A and B are shown apart, each in its own frame.
Chain A
Amino acid sequence: MGDQHNRSRRRLLAGASAFGALGAARAFAADLGSSGALGFTELPDGALAGQVLFSLPGKLPLIKKTYRPPNFETPIEYFRTAITRNDAFFVRWHLAGIPEIKGDQWSLAVGGESAERELKLTLADLREDFKQAEVTAVCQCSGNRRGLFEPHVAGVEWGVGAMGNAVWRGVRLKDVLARAGVKGDALEVVLDGADTAPLDKTPDFVKSIPVEVAMDENTLIALEMNGKPLPHWNGFPARLVVPGWTGTYWIKQLTSVKLVSKPESNFWMSTAYRLPRGRFKTPSFKSQVKETNEPITTMVVNSLVTSLRNGQQVSPGKAIDVKGIAWDGGSGIDRVEVSTDGASWYAAKLGRDLGRFSFREFSFTVPGRDQGALVVMARATARSGETQVEQLIHNPAGYHHNVVQRLYLEVV
């Protein structure tokens, strides 16, 4: 413990002096989407310089990462509540061809060699012929926080906002699959959306999930988000919702669902969205495991402090409110602990439980301090026992960043 304490103290001092050199004004200026301003390692300088606030039609100003295909991040202020509003929800597309779909012209094809029969379902069919179901769940891009990787890795250089939490309502995928008839040899369910690549040679964005995940009662074809139709940019009129699993599987503008008996082998399954095998404790997607790597599956436990900025000045004796959100891959949040020295950790108060797949709010009050520097850290632990890591678990594609946040404050 002595060692750990000393290490934390050294980090605290290093952070405090870095802050001193930077100066308070600089720390607060131009921190749009800056991960450094949140106490993390900073985004690549080119990513930081290229970011602007921009409103896509129907959306609030979000942090532009790329215009085409559109990749936009949710600013931190929208994470001060457990539910993320639709018009602030992040936008992530792989391919630039995104059709504007009219609800009455859309239909969903259900079939595949492991289905007894083929179906074609309209929105009215889904609303009227199936029991409606609801789940509150976090949708987080696999690469959320990729920009915080040190050393940096190529890709969309997301800060902390490629995620959101919503109440999803629609029909259970298992009910739709049951209507088509699931044969005994069904191994995966292959999902395709209406988006297309500008070049014919580019692999279409198609993903698969294990049949047992498809048959989970929480896996939905969502038609509504927070009580409203899905925004165009978030997959109108229907998207898959796979609670606990990263956003890559949440196919938007869903047009095709196929039951298959062999592993889906397109680029987006066999090459992209993979982790070095065995580096994380998340569940394996067994039919897709290769010798050296395996697909990303569920999210790792994580948290985000939304009430403080790195380098923030506080008055002596004034209590410091530490507020934020925590989430994991579906076991639910057991506790969030806050520390101001890296050695002693105190339980934060948890907010209302909106279900095991949801953001969970937390709050903690640090008693007022005398003049000097302090660090504030928050660490979430899931009911599975998994806790946030001290050191980044590096991987080539930049997934699963859940390093404990360290915010340096100055009492002056």
Chain B
Amino acid sequence: MKTPAMTAAALLLAAGVTSAQESKVQLKDGPGRDKVNSCLACHSLDYIQMNSRFLDKAGWTASVNKMINAFGAPIAKEDVDVIATYLTQNYGKLPQ
């Protein structure tokens, strides 16, 4: 259920409670990290760390595509591989 007033109040509340903590969650430096910051529109970056390290490139690509196709994340097609590569290199399954 959505009304503009509710959304504004919701964002304020969410921002007030956890933003200080959330800002401490930092992703590893590496090529593509700036693109991954677009994830912040909907969720904190600890979702990424939490899901490491067990996904391979196909797994991370599937996750990024789910964000686009199921949740409407505004990620450009040409950025999918950049993001998936960054996630695989920094948060992906380590070579056995």
Interface residues of A (CB under 8 A from B): 44-47, 49-50, 54, 56-57, 64-70, 96-100, 151-152, 154-157, 192-204, 255-256, 267, 271
Contact = CB atoms under 8 A, between A and B. Distances in A.
25 contacts: A45-B52, A46-B51, A46-B91, A50-B25, A50-B49, A56-B18, A65-B50, A68-B22, A68-B43, A70-B14, A96-B11, A97-B7, A97-B14, A152-B54, A154-B63, A195-B10, A196-B1, A197-B71, A199-B41, A199-B72, A199-B74, A201-B72, A202-B72, A204-B1, A271-B70
Interface in B68-83: 70-74
B1 A192 contact: yes
Given A154-B55, A196-B6, A97 B11 contact: yes
B44 A67 contact: yes
Contacts of B54: 44, 151-152
Interface of B: 1-2, 6-7, 9-11, 13-14, 17-18, 21-22, 25, 41-44, 46-47, 49-55, 59, 63, 70-74, 91
A195 B9 CA distance: 11
B53 A196 contact: no
A64 B20 CA distance: 14
Nearest to A68: B44
A96 B10 CA distance: 8
A44 B93 CA distance: 11
Sort A-B residue pairs by CB-CB distance and give the 7 closest, nearest first: A201-B72, A46-B52, A97-B10, A152-B54, A67-B18, A68-B44, A67-B44
Contacts of A47: 49-52
Contacts of A69: 14, 43
Nearest to B11: A97
Nearest to B13: A100
Contacts of B7: 97, 99, 196
B1 A97 contact: no
Contacts of A157: 50-51
A46 B52 CA distance: 5
Given A66-B43, A96-B43, A256-B1, A154 B51 contact: yes
B11 to A, nearest CB: 6
